[in-house]
DNA sequence: AGACCTTATGCGGGAACCCGCAATGCTCTT
DNA sequence: AAGAGCATTGCGGGTTCCCGCATAAGGTCT
């Protein structure tokens, strides 16, 4: 089995390589890439079917890279391996994972044993495996039922790009007023108060983006990805 | 000399420890911390005068930790050591560095030789040293003269918190209209177009925050820090 | 079936925002 | 000293935003 390791931190890369050879005797070759473009080239040239992917890299981020890999062959098995337990990453991944593909999401702070287990489960057995830390995070209830549903999240993405209500409505196929209702529930779930302590009114749109970032519902990579998707959508109609 | 190493990634920590003992025979003891609170305690208990500090950590971030250390003893020598060349970090540091303190900013991708040099220059010789990669970034000219001056940056921070014009004016001691002028130049420098390609008007405030994040003028840690500062400011008047 | 709840949508108004126009005051040059 | 240039501030108007109120459609429970 050939494995592609996409990781721009040399220490983490060599650690992972070490664990790979120790854990999986099935592995015959390990290829390297330090960003998304390289990963794409390598995977195509070497017909890779198992990948370990860092999420935060310079250039193209891990989620977009994974999307390209899965477009080319949907049965690619990918273990995402990240420093951060951002809800944004998990949402990004579940938005692009093909029907019955194998993938996993593990934190870099996971102990060696759990890493070994995840490597075998995902890359060899083709299972789906998500680090408990991350799963727990998704179900958190810091404020009452603050889990965003898909349409709310889509509106949040559009908002974060700076789109106005009218454009969001057009893009989401909603009426103007519905978009505004979504925004209302977004403000609620993100904990956007209409006034701060000291009777200071705030700009809710900006505040919503701020809160989404601080709670890790969004992160900067998400914004970049959303931007590119918006441009594609915009050019695909005219 | 006692050195405190603040770093939550074990690989990077052991690498740094390795380089430290190899490079600086002056070092007698190396203490460890994995976040800002620990760093504060250790530094106080051990009367530390030289620190190597990661910037992105869970809990308290590196810049706030440094601020506390410098408040307790202004002659502490700190080498910041980060994965990311965000302008936001550099601004955050230069905003809190005391008069003639020694500090440095180095990327983790820097080669071992440059790291050794920086360690000696900052921790032993008390010089100031900023990685060329970062310095270059600060002077970038992707769009014409897009370097924000201090007052523009302050307004950007307030905007990113979701403050309205009136409140920004009060906090910055400007008139309402002046704040709006600052916003105008912010929109200009951040490349906020009034319309996208396809005649799609946008929400400039949100767009400004979006652009600031994508260009790394701000990052999420900056937002968190700004939030705490705003709360302090707000409670210190009433 | 009828009461009830949730969701989508329309309407209207008050507040905030964006920004052109213009007046004032400061600095710098000639 | 006069004029050019820039920052600061006020005013006014057009637009967007936020949201209460009201209506309609569709689902659920008794």
The pLDDT of residue A197 is above 90? no
B206: nearest nucleotide, CA–C1' criterion: C17
Binned at pLDDT 50, 70 and 90, residue A238 comes out as: low
* A56-67 pLDDT per residue, tens: 887 778 999 999
The H helix count followed by the E strand count for chain A is 11, 6
What are the C-alpha distances in Å from A217 to residues A214, B84, B145? Answer: 8, 21, 33
What are the C-alpha distances in Å from A170 to residues A186, A231, A238? Answer: 19, 15, 13
What are the C-alpha distances in Å from B172 to residues A153, A207, B223? Answer: 34, 19, 18
How far in angstroms lies nucleotide D8's C1' from the CA of residue B225? 30
User: How far is Cα A62 from Cα A65, in angstroms, rounded to an integer?
Assistant: 5
At residue A142, the pLDDT reads: 44
What are the C-alpha distances in Å from B62 to residues A161, B147, B224? Answer: 29, 24, 12
Element (H, E) at B2: strand B2-6
At residue A105, the pLDDT reads: 95
Which residues of A are less than 8 Å from B201 in CB distance? 164, 167
Is the CB of B159 less than 8 angstroms away from the CB of A204? Answer: no
Q: Which chain B residue has its CA at the smallest distance from A222's CA?
A: B214
Best probe of the B interface among A15, A200, A205, by most B CBs < 10 A, is A200
Is the CB of A167 less than 8 angstroms away from the CB of B201? Answer: yes
At residue B153, the pLDDT reads: 94
* Range with the poorest average pLDDT among A44-53, A197-206, B131-140: B131-140
What is the pLDDT of chain B when averaged over all its residues? 89
A149: nearest nucleotide, CA–C1' criterion: C7
Which residues of B are less than 8 Å from A238 in CB distance? 198
Element (H, E) at A114: helix A112-119
Give CA angle at B13 (A120, A90), nearest 5°. Answer: 45
Q: Within 10 A of B128 (CB to CB), how many other CB atoms are there?
A: 14
At residue A144, the pLDDT reads: 45
Element (H, E) at B91: helix B87-96
* B4-30 pLDDT per residue, tens: 999 999 999 999 999 999 999 999 999
Contact by Cβ (8 Å): A119, A24: yes
Cα B77 to chain centroid distance, Å, stands at: 16
Is the CB of B198 less than 8 angstroms away from the CB of A234? Answer: yes
The pLDDT of residue A237 is above 60? yes
Binned at pLDDT 50, 70 and 90, residue B137 comes out as: low
**What CATH fold (topology level) applies to the domain A150-235?**
Arc Repressor Mutant, subunit A (1.10.10)
Best probe of the A interface among B107, B203, B217, B226, by most A CBs < 10 A, is B203
Which residues of B are less than 8 Å from A212 in CB distance? none
The pLDDT of residue A221 is above 60? yes
How far in angstroms lies nucleotide C30's C1' from the CA of residue A90? 65
At residue B238, the pLDDT reads: 64
Average confidence (pLDDT) over A99-123: 93
Average confidence (pLDDT) over A21-47: 91
Between A201 and A23, residue with greater pLDDT? A23
How far in angstroms lies nucleotide C25's C1' from the CA of residue B178? 15
Q: Which residues touch strand C (CB under 7 A)?
A: A 151, 174-178, 181-182, 201, 203; B 164-166, 177, 180, 183-184, 187, 194, 203-205
Residues 181-200 of A with CB under 7 A from strand D: 183-184, 187, 194
Question: B162-182 b/e with 16+ CB inside 10 Å = b?
Answer: bbbbebbbbbbebeeebbeeb
* B194-227 pLDDT per residue, tens: 776 666 789 999 999 999 999 999 999 999 999 9
Give phi and psi for A130, each to the nearest 5.
-120, 130
Average confidence (pLDDT) over B113-123: 95
Average confidence (pLDDT) over A178-205: 85
Is the C-beta of residue A177 closer than 7 Å to nucleic acid chain D? yes
* Range with the poorest average pLDDT among A43-52, A76-85, A137-146: A137-146
At residue B102, the pLDDT reads: 92
Q: Which chain B residue has its CA at the smallest distance from A192's CA?
A: B162
Residue intervals in chain B for CATH 1.10.10:
150-235
**What CATH fold (topology level) applies to the domain A2-138?**
Rossmann fold (3.40.50)
Taking CB atoms and an 8 Å cut-off, how many pairs form between chains A and B?
100
Best probe of the B interface among A156, A179, A203, by most B CBs < 10 A, is A203
What are the C-alpha distances in Å from B55 to residues A206, B98, B172, B225? Answer: 25, 18, 28, 13
Q: How far apart are the first and last CA of chain B?
A: 46
* A122-173 pLDDT per residue, tens: 999 999 999 887 777 665 544 445 678 888 899 999 999 999 999 999 999 9
Residue intervals in chain A for CATH 3.40.50.2300:
2-138
Is the C-beta of residue B175 closer than 7 Å to nucleic acid chain D? yes
């Amino acid at each position: 089995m050939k494995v592609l390791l996409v990781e721009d931190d040399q220490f983490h890369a060599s650690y992972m390589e070490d664990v790979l050879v120790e854990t999986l005797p099935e592995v015959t070759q390990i290829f390297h890439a330090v960003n998304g473009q390289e990963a794409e080239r390598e995977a195509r040239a070497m017909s890779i079917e198992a990948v370990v992917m860092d999420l935060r890299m310079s250039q193209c981020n891990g989620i977009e890279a994974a999307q390209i890999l899965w477009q080319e062959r949907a049965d690619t098995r990918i273990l995402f391996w990240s420093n951060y337990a951002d809800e944004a990453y998990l949402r990004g991944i579940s938005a692009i994972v093909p029907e019955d593909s194998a993938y996993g999401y593990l934190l870099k702070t996971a102990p060696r044993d759990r890493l070994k287990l995840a490597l075998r489960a995902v890359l060899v057995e083709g299972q789906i495996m998500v680090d408990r830390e991350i799963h727990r995070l998704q179900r958190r209830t810091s404020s009452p039922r603050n889990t965003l549903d898909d349409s709310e999240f889509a509106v949040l993405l559009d908002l974060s790009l700076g789109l106005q209500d009218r454009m969001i409505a057009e893009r989401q196929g909603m009426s103007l007023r519905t978009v505004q209702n979504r925004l209302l529930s977004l403000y609620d779930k993100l904990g956007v108060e209409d006034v701060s302590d000291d009777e200071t009114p705030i700009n809710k749109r900006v505040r919503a983006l701020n809160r989404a970032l601080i709670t890790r519902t969004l992160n900067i990579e998400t914004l970049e990805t959303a931007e590119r998707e918006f441009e594609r959508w915009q050019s695909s109609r005219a």
